[in-house]
Structure 1
């Protein structure tokens, strides 16, 4: 299959006409974000069973026509582990294309583990071992070699084949539309919005801080995230997480004290020292945002442990019947949440609820009973 390399407006127009005729396309992106806060969009690969193209966004002045056709709701976009690809498209357009079919999300319905890697699917479905020759390619450098372009194109060529096989197998099992709601959730734009005010939630070790220290970490994390976004640099290039914690404990009151902190970046002190100290002094005067850490689940009684074992057995039975990995259906923590009446459990939604969640609820509510023999377990509805 000849790879179309799209680096002129004329070629892009022709590609858009091709895409418009298709019911679905496989997509992948190449990007770089080692030196930037936002991923730098370097290449877009698109394929169908009949053709494949690599679009060079660095060579094209305007991708508006391409986005218009890609975002058409009558064209399914097939991706693997789509979150980062969709994040790039959201940042470029402010929208997320739909509908989406994510092969990573769909794979567990065919017996794979949760979140399988792309190489695993290629190997399992196509008996091909992916090359790692260009894993560390700097995709911003031009011109791209033929080997680099082939490497990038192979991802969507194989993705097309995997999608077709998956659809055929899911259709035979009656599971093709089980994930419709899961895929719709990928179009929620909140997934791709990064709020500086919530940046502190990702700081490890925050739960060991005092109230004043936590308030400082919250203020500095929000400032760091906003600044990293505005200058488009990785947040850790400004201040590392461990340094945020150190500053919260030492609480330097002025630039001179800040400069004495071991490991502090001199450039950071010169450029942002006064701002950092002002934030620290202000944060010391106000209470922190409550952690709202989820407490440890209540200690289970022996009877509850026995109930948990019974639910686990039912999950294993239903998983075996449907050729699924039991963990894909429910983890032990999911079952614990169910026992303690929590609602935020995958078992209570979508295909998991249909396959086993409703049944487990019936057991807990006393609407079902178990009959045991030496060979099997039978669930009877009252």
Structure 2
């Protein structure tokens, strides 16, 4: 789909940047919003050397107003959390995954009533994972200054360029939402944006089970059952340690080294120290505990153990290509990116289960679109 400039009006850039400086001011503005009025929402944060994102700024828009809010003000607000969790108050975001992670850790909440306009734009035919600035330029003919995107959002005062950038990140969200909704109505997909955004938010809000994190280390599929049981304990320990010291996973122990330890299953500090690439400081600080985890994994009962998903076999790859053609046919007919309609890992699940039964990802708005090819897919996977 080639995007052209839309006639939907865009609010002008404010002459002065305004801040809601106290929790009371934020509460007053939030309670003054008309019922059902959407709130444009974005955040800025830092996480270069930390496991958890550190909030740097909150941007809010609604009813023609645009505001910047300090994190401590939002945190102390009576109504800010209520607004975020109010399913009747639409929240407009763009590429919201990191914002959701921030809210989950910082405020310990799972927002509701979300509309991820990057998803909406994809459903509307704008393409997969299109950047916000590119979409704004294509639809509204305005070029955003992205020079301060990676700037320091924790230091104060913010520069005028940072403040303008922060406001521009929310100024186009409501016009963009209007364009998305109009396009989705043309495509009979009015409910798809809320449904898909809600599904995405629910998955992001689900508490992570550290004992299942090893399943994400796809490179460990070649390990034996006992070695994977070791890897399970190592990966769970790393998650807990990253939370404890607030450092990124690779700053504690990389995936590759976790897999190497599980493969070697060392029984002494000397054997642990011999693993190529393992820093001596790690052995000194965590060595004895790592050996305890290895021993526990080797002795574990693996009768009901879930193994890491292996790559598709050659026969499964051939079947994957056949099934993907069915999904691609529908994706092209409706001008929806196949990455949205049927992500690779979802198709792989169909191939490995040899069934569409229980594949919840292909319900809702997808079910209507995929109905013409469901029987063909089922025939392929049952061969």
Choose which of 119, 122, 127 in structure 2 pairs with 1:108: 122
- State the partner residue of 1:358: 371
Secondary structure at 1:269 match in 2: helix
| Structure-2 change in CA distance of 1:323 and 1:314 (3 Å) | closer
- State the partner residue of 1:377: none
Answer yes or no: is 1:4 the counterpart of 2:15.
Answer: no
Output the CA distance in 2 between the equivalents of 1:240 and 1:44: 32
Q: Give, in angstroms, the shift of residue 184 of structure 1.
A: 2.7
1:263-305 CA distances to partner (integer Å, 9 max, x unpaired)?
33333233222111111122222355331526737848x9x99
- State the partner residue of 1:290: 306
Secondary structure at 1:215 match in 2: helix
Deviates more, 1:13-22 or 1:130-139: 13-22
1:279-358 aligned within 5 A: 279-286=293-300, 288=302, 289-291=305-307, 293=309, 296=312, 299=315, 311=326, 315=330, 319-320=332-333, 322-324=334-336, 329=341, 334=347, 337=350, 340-343=354-357, 348-355=362-369, 357-358=370-371
| Structure-2 change in CA distance of 1:221 and 1:307 (3 Å) | closer
TM-score of the superposition, structure 1-length normalised? 0.80
Output the CA distance in 2 between the equivalents of 1:62 and 1:217: 41
Output the CA distance in 1 between the equivalents of 2:261 and 2:192: 49
CA contact (8 A) 1:259 1:269 kept: yes
Answer yes or no: is 1:275 the counterpart of 2:289.
Answer: yes
Answer yes or no: is 1:89 the counterpart of 2:103.
Answer: yes
- State the partner residue of 1:165: 179
CA contact (8 A) 1:347 1:353 kept: no
- Which runs of 5 or more structure 2 residues have no equivalent in the other structure? 1-13
| Structure-2 change in CA distance of 1:261 and 1:172 (3 Å) | closer
- Which runs of 5 or more structure 1 residues have no equivalent in the other structure? 367-382
Output the CA distance in 2 between the equivalents of 1:190 and 1:305: 27
Q: Give, in angstroms, the shift of residue 173 of structure 1.
A: 4.2
CA contact (8 A) 2:230 2:293 kept: yes
1:1-382 aligned within 5 A: 1=14, 2-19=16-33, 23-48=37-62, 50-58=64-72, 62-188=76-202, 191-286=205-300, 288=302, 289-291=305-307, 293=309, 296=312, 299=315, 311=326, 315=330, 319-320=332-333, 322-324=334-336, 329=341, 334=347, 337=350, 340-343=354-357, 348-355=362-369, 357-361=370-374
Deviates more, 1:137-146 or 1:337-346: 337-346
Output the CA distance in 1 between the equivalents of 2:119 and 2:74: 32
Output the CA distance in 1 between the equivalents of 2:100 and 2:321: 43
Output the CA distance in 2 between the equivalents of 1:310 and 1:14: 54
- State the partner residue of 2:11: none
| Structure-2 change in CA distance of 1:232 and 1:324 (3 Å) | closer
| Structure-2 change in CA distance of 1:50 and 1:22 (3 Å) | farther
TM-score of the superposition, structure 2-length normalised? 0.80
CA contact (8 A) 1:28 1:156 kept: yes
CA RMSD of aligned residues (A): 3.6
CA contact (8 A) 2:58 2:68 kept: yes
Greater gyration radius: 1
CA contact (8 A) 1:346 1:352 kept: no
Flag the structure with more relative contact order, 1 or 2, with Cα contacts below 8 A and sequence separation at least 6. Answer: 2
Q: Give, in angstroms, the shift of residue 11 of structure 1.
A: 3.4
Output the CA distance in 1 between the equivalents of 2:246 and 2:306: 30
Output the CA distance in 2 between the equivalents of 1:312 and 1:265: 46
Output the CA distance in 1 between the equivalents of 2:256 and 2:349: 34
| Structure-2 change in CA distance of 1:65 and 1:223 (3 Å) | same
CA contact (8 A) 2:191 2:365 kept: no
1:79-128 CA distances to partner (integer Å, 9 max, x unpaired)?
11222212222223433222111112112232122333323322322223
Output the CA distance in 1 between the equivalents of 2:312 and 2:208: 28
CA contact (8 A) 2:218 2:310 kept: no
Secondary structure at 1:236 match in 2: helix
